[in-house]
Chains A and B, each alone.
Chain A
């Protein structure tokens, strides 16, 4: 039996388990959080604090009739939700979540795919998520859906540039694409968020746009496009889009926490061994939950951007800012400051 294979399977099981369970929890957080901010109770009937509401929702989605409208392009229509979910789940594979563990003389790295091109691979796979939106919108044969997916494709391309540039700036002083090297660097030099504050700002804004969250949820835009690209979807397929959105939020948050907030480490504390790996996982997801809470907070605070405002912000503000930041950080790195 190959030990590497067993280790990878275990890591996969743990991470997938967490990622899939993030969704119901986030649905609950979103609903209770919005209720809190709007001074109303929110779902409070099922279980303590309405916690089981998410469970009931999931059951409803599973047993509801799955309607496939007659005029849709069937193959694309059926494939779209799954294709959205896959990249969201896959990207987490390059995020490290604990110290290396040696068990009976065998070394296990606490990252599912220790690829050399680490963070680039993350961005590459994440960028495939847009196909789900485009396919759904096109296949639905509905003008609102089509408008939603046209918006999605241009929005995601535009903000991907800023996102990629800010990520590249963050790893510039590290001179490695591996996220575990980024974590090691931050253990030695302190968290990236202070020297890379501008980059972090760009990353954060672009992350909102990449996950189609308010204030950038133009592809869905309930008040203009009914429900945008997923207007024609119902039951479990609709829920799959929902899952993809929350899971890609989680993955991007994990990337943000790793790039700018030290990933699974904490300053002045050192942990190792199997228990250390568990603590590391907890620390990472603690940071991720801060990000997710911020996502919810912003969603219920800001109104939606207009489409031209979105494009102007992306191309005329974020992109130049990201390029400027890249130049400054590159100069500082060459000068030996960072």
Chain B
């Protein structure tokens, strides 16, 4: 299981956050967030105070997983892009580097064309950042928070 672990470091997080912040502005979006394919929220930007981002992250991952299952049945590698149109809000979903999901929520102050254009650029940037992050994670010299955690720490967490 070791090679499946996802780790986010401060340096890469800041870069990812910058891309999200910029995408909110450039695409006139309400919210931008990034989720890993297992539903863990990685970064979020925009008007997120009133938004249940944890739930959205989990449902986005479920959505991508289901769509990926459909793609497999059709012998497609994946459906990398999805768009859901609502009455006032729309969601654009893009798989980045086959690993994470970039979600843009926007209203009529923006347009699908603009969002697609800006997402394409952000996708390129994010792909590079996640590639370098994965290399860093694979480096056995990187410390793990678990290096310092003792069995006693774990026991203490479950004391009644």
A and B: bona fide binding partners: no
Q: What is A's interface to B at a CB cutoff of 8 Å?
A: none
